[in-house]
A and B are shown apart, each in its own frame.
Chain A
Amino acid sequence: MTVGTHGRRTGSSVECATEKCSNMKSRRQLKSIIAGRIMLCVTIGCGLLVFVMIVGLYQRSRPILATKPLGELLFSSSWRPLQGEFGFLPFILGSLWVTILALLIAVPLCLLTSVYLSEYAHRYVRECTKPLIDLLAGIPSVVYGVWGVLVIVPLIKDRIAPFFGTYSAGYSVLAGGIVLAIMVIPVITHVSAEVFRSVPDDVREASLSLGATKWQTTKHVVLRKGMPGVIAAVVLGLSRAFGETMAVLMVAGNVAKSPTSIFDPAYPLPALIANNYGEMLSVPLYDSALLFGCLVLLIVVLSFNAAARVVLLRVQRRIQ
């Protein structure tokens, strides 16, 4: 091995007669090392991006955190920015109502579909259906919003609410829940189907060999083994629903009061931030309050996401 002019091995055992030749080799190596260093910096930057965001938002929220106690911000229902009152409870509750309703609708459907696709469906059916469901995931949230306004809102106003004997403007928790449910179905289904695929065939064969039917095997073995992964998938869907802005903004009603029934309007946290950001610079503390809301949103979503990812990593390791 020859040693290059920078004191590093050049990795080639071909002796180079001329000085120029060994210069060229080490130039290549130098380029590679510099490139490597740049890439390292970019990578570290990416890893830190989350923290930068949290810190940045926290810095901008400090004014309002200094003025009001945290408890009042989170649990007061009074939202009157012009009078300096910033109680986030209606928006947190609004988000919760809509998100939980969306999950109640989506999770049973996703479970049924993902089990079907991974255990029962013909390979052909599976290969046609999976891309279609993934297609749902790519549709922008504005389009969901438009569709919600066109189809779901009138449906609730004219058919569903009267059926239950109440009046609704259509723009309601129910509308938000339905639209969000459709938005999270692709995520939950995709991840759940992969989780079931990771359950090794051995254990299915063991159950079938004992004379169990396919459904018994699915129920007692596949679902049991896949439960942690499915829960992680649901949590991912939950955090997606919690942070969704555009579609809910268009159908949920945006009234700053905590909802009391699914036919009431709601004002989820992301919708609040999106709607008012434009005016926030004119009212004192408004921008800080809204950014604080953003921080709350970020922390909630991050915690759920991180937990779900940890579980899914363990599931993935099982495949290997």
Chain B
Amino acid sequence: MEFKTHISVQNLSVFYGSEEVLKDISIEIPDKKIIMIIGPSGCGKTTLLKSFNRLIDMRDGVRVSGRVMVDGENIFDSKIEVTHIRKKMGLLSQNPCPLPMSIYDNVAYGPRIHGLKDKKRLDRIVEHYLREASLWDEVKDRLGEPASRVSIGQQQRLCLARGLAVEPEIILADEPTSALDPKSSRRIEKSFLGLKDKYTTIIVTHILRQARRLADYVVFLYCGELIEHGPAEEFFENPKEELTKEYTKGVIS
């Protein structure tokens, strides 16, 4: 599979205090594809995701070694402005967390904090991204309502719209459907498939079937180590490592 690299992870190791959570990960993340990170719980999948947008900085006692290159810049370089990195990446968390404001303000939050004040442009941005997240028709008459009043599936789509509104290049999603019912999950998955051509999407999941449905590229982490990675077809048909075979067959979970 020929691809362009969007993110190049080079010998990334992350330590929480003295515990090594990610062990020397090196991987090339392809551009404009859906990449699924799979593996059992507690294996560092979320840590890897959150190191891409440097959210792990928020924790006390974190140490990082290695480099992560995005568009030619090492995101851990101390000279880089963190908010600039984060703007390139949109994060969708496991539990939908709408900001404590109206639906409109939620989507407009991103553009506003980056300085956009023009009401007309904001209106257009809000409508556009709510459409991209397949939520516009359901909320267009109640944009002023508090975001917490909509259903949980709608909240997750709202968070997706919010994340897209800052025009990132990369979407990061941490088990985005685990809190949702099957119908809402399907809608979110459909959205990801629809956004594939415009964004590089990295999704963490522990649902193997979801990975089979969505992935173009798969990364398998086990206990902080990178076991195997590759294009989805090869990964699922012909896994090379013993551990991968066991995981995909459900022997270990």
Contacts and interface: CB of A to CB of B under 8 A. Distances in A.
- Direct touch of chains A and B (CB < 8 A): yes
B55 A205 contact: yes
A216 interface: yes
B152 to A, nearest CB: 13
B113 A209 contact: no
Nearest to B61: A123
Contacts of B95: 202
A204 B93 CA distance: 12
A203 interface: yes
A220 B109 contact: yes
Given A202-B93, A205-B58, A211 B110 contact: yes
Contacts of A225: 100
B153 interface: no
B101 to A, nearest CB: 7
Nearest to B162: A210
Given A210-B113, A211-B87, A211-B114, A205 B93 contact: yes
B2 interface: no
B100 A221 contact: yes
Contacts, number: 66
B97 A200 contact: yes
Nearest to B55: A205
B97 A224 contact: no
Interface in A222-239: 224-225
B99 A212 contact: no
Interface SS of chain A: helix, strand, loop or mixed? helix
B58 A204 contact: yes
A201 B110 CA distance: 18
Contact of A210 (B60, B84, B86): B86
A211 B58 contact: no
Nearest to B50: A205
B90 interface: yes
A204 B55 CA distance: 10
A200 B148 CA distance: 15
A29 interface: no
B97 A220 contact: no
B113 A206 contact: no
Contacts of B60: 123
A203 B110 CA distance: 14
Contacts of B159: 206
Contacts of B97: 200, 202-203, 205-206
B146 to A, nearest CB: 11
User: How extensive is the interface on chain A, given as a class?
Assistant: 20 to 34
B133 to A, nearest CB: 15
Contact of B91 (A200, A206, A213): A206
B155 to A, nearest CB: 11
A208 interface: yes
Interface in B40-65: 53, 55, 58, 60
A317 to B, nearest CB: 15
A210 B93 CA distance: 12
Contacts of B110: 210-211
Contacts of B93: 202, 205-206
Contacts of A204: 58
A76 to B, nearest CB: 47
Nearest to B60: A123
Contacts of A10: none
Contacts of B221: none
A122 B172 CA distance: 28
Contact of A203 (B53, B90, B91, B100): B100
A212 to B, nearest CB: 5
A211 B55 CA distance: 11
A118 interface: no
Interface in A84-137: 123
Interface in B70-128: 83-84, 86-87, 89-91, 93, 95, 97, 99-101, 109-110, 113-114
8 contacts: A203-B97, A209-B53, A209-B163, A210-B86, A210-B162, A211-B83, A220-B109, A221-B100
Interface of A: 123, 200-213, 216, 220-221, 224-225
The 8 closest A-B pairs by CB, nearest first: A209-B91, A211-B87, A202-B97, A210-B110, A211-B86, A211-B83, A212-B113, A203-B97
Given A205-B93, A213-B83, A225-B100, 5 more contacts: A200-B97, A203-B97, A208-B86, A209-B53, A220-B113
